[in-house]
Amino acid sequence: MTEDNYSLTTEFILTGFMDHPDLKTLLFVVFFTIYLITMVGNLGLVALIFMERRLHTPMYIFLGNLALMDSCCSCAITPKMLENFFSEFRMISLHECMAQFYFLCLAETTDCFLLAAMAYDRYVAICSPLQYHTMMSKQLCVQMIIGAYIAGSIHPTIHVVLLLRLTFCGSHQINHFFCDVLPLYRLSCVDPYINELMLFTFAGSIQVFTIAIVLISYVCILFTIFKMKSKEGRGKALSTCASHFLSISIFYGSLLFMYIQPHSDQEGDKDVIVAICYTLVIPLLNPFIYTLRNKEVINVMKRVMNRKPHNILKQISSPMTN
């Protein structure tokens, strides 16, 4: 194919939700509400963990970083989607496309490693409680978080660099509400086999590795719980793990369905539905999943809400000065 036979595409049209123009106002209100609740819930949880010394433990530090990445995920996707509801052209440049995918992949990859670290933390807390402070030291906690961010940064960089080898021609419509690599592969006039192979290899390896840590941790946790003689102890242990396991199940289930299964050119609608789950619904639910079932966090929230505003500002500034 010569250059005369096609024009290279440097801008794309996001066609997600265009099939329902009569519902655009309702959809805008729904997704704008989800965005506000997501940002307030996640950033509020980050602030709460940051300013409350009682929550400066590995479990809550991991949770705070998870909430931060959920905020990043929502910020990468939702503003452009909301703009497109009332935009005439719904255009997004190739560079904006890559930036949107980069920050989404950064958040999702970091989440995978943070969830695995949280599973290991629960394993140590329940299976080796007397050795918890030795096995889950602050130094190890910081190393795990730094490792999660490094992996989260490297993974999308690989795919963005590989995207630069592709050229896009013909149709410039993406049947999605954000720029993801799978719709871009379908628009490529260069065979994206290498890109798809690298996506399958790296995304699959990350998910298999982190899921293995989660499963091994929870198998050990369940064996320990079943050995407990106290019903109260069993209930407390199960309650501690239930929120985390629920969040993991939804998150990994949607990611596995999206990126690991074989894809065809006709899967756009299915991609949109699954993507809504892991880009919008999970970041919305996580703060509530982890806080509503956690008495310690609820008690801290009540105590913070009962403080006077100047005491709250003093509490926020004190960790910065220490």
**pLDDT tens digits, one per residue of 12-57:** 989 888 777 788 899 999 999 999 999 999 999 999 999 888 889 9
Biggest CA–CA distance in the chain, Å, is 77
Query: Would you call 106 helix, strand, or coil by DSSP?
Result: helix
Which pLDDT belongs to residue 1?
41
- Distance CA(46)–CA(50), nearest Å, equals 6
Token pair 């990350």 in the structure block, residue: 206
For the cut 60, the answer to whether the pLDDT of residue 300 exceeds it is: yes
Which pLDDT belongs to residue 276?
86
**Helices 58-85 & 138-163, crossing angle to 10 degrees?**
30
Instruction: Output phi, psi for 13, to 5 deg.
Output: -110, 125
> How many C-beta neighbours within 10 Å does residue 274 have?
19
Which of 103 and 170 is assigned the larger pLDDT?
103
User: Is the Cβ–Cβ distance between 68 and 44 less than 8 Å?
Assistant: no
- Distance CA(315)–CA(51), nearest Å, equals 6
DSSP state of 14: E
Cα-trace Rg, the chain: 22
- Distance CA(205)–CA(151), nearest Å, equals 12
- Distance CA(58)–CA(122), nearest Å, equals 10
Q: How many residues does the chain have?
A: 322
Q: What is the pLDDT of residues 266-275, one digit of tens each?
A: 555 666 777 8
For the cut 50, the answer to whether the pLDDT of residue 2 exceeds it is: no
For the cut 60, the answer to whether the pLDDT of residue 248 exceeds it is: yes
For the record, the structure tokens of 312 come out as 């709250």
Mean pLDDT of the residues in the chain: 83
- Distance CA(322)–CA(316), nearest Å, equals 11
User: Is the Cβ–Cβ distance between 121 and 62 less than 8 Å?
Assistant: yes
The amino acid that residue 218 corresponds to is: Y
Which of 68 and 222 is assigned the larger pLDDT?
68
Q: Which segments within the chain are labelled E, that is strand?
A: 11-14, 91-93, 173-174
Which of 218 and 3 is assigned the larger pLDDT?
218
User: Is the Cβ–Cβ distance between 286 and 70 less than 8 Å?
Assistant: yes
Which pLDDT belongs to residue 313?
52
**For the chain, percent helix, then strand, then coil, each to nearest 5?**
80, 5, 15
Token pair 């490297």 in the structure block, residue: 154
Which pLDDT belongs to residue 302?
77
Which pLDDT belongs to residue 309?
55
For the cut 80, the answer to whether the pLDDT of residue 238 exceeds it is: no
For the cut 60, the answer to whether the pLDDT of residue 264 exceeds it is: no
User: Is the Cβ–Cβ distance between 183 and 271 less than 8 Å?
Assistant: yes
- Beta pairing class for 11-14 and 91-93: antiparallel
Which pLDDT belongs to residue 41?
93
